[in-house]
Structure 1
């Protein structure tokens, strides 16, 4: 588990904010806002902005595996990646 929310954000590919999936977010540790999150909730666009002080004050809740950021619940998720390379198994390189 990262020690701070800022550390968790550096490795995040996807966020869950208040149970909404948000893959469009921008984290700028030295910028204002430090975190901007945009997502679509049905037909409604939702936007959140947090400054550095708010991020620093976030508390991790191990029971729910989320960060408490004011009245919001935030989870930082990583993505799985793969490659398009064929595996060496089953390929005949002598052809």
Structure 2
């Protein structure tokens, strides 16, 4: 499975992933997101949507911005 995109809007959470050539999509209402539970043992979130129960595990996170922290250090 390729990288997954998360888009949280005012009305829903949309998760999109490419599995080979097939695009997979999952959609959850804000009520379903608010009802999600965190499992301390598995370090994952359980969301129940229209298509059943889904478990989300954050493997790693990063941000893509144009701020270069090294440049800020050079100016000091």
* Number of aligned residue pairs: 66
Higher relative contact order (CA 8 A, sep 6+): 1
The 4+ residue runs of structure 1 with deviation greater than 3 A are 80-88
Larger radius of gyration: 1
Match of 1:91 in 2: none
Q: Distance in 2 between matches of 1:60 and 1:21?
A: 22
> Larger helix proportion, structure 1 or 2?
2
Residue 75 in 1 paired to residue 57 in 2? yes
Taking structure 2 as the reference length, what is the TM-score of the superposition?
A: 0.66
Unaligned runs of 5+ in 2: none
Taking structure 1 as the reference length, what is the TM-score of the superposition?
A: 0.55
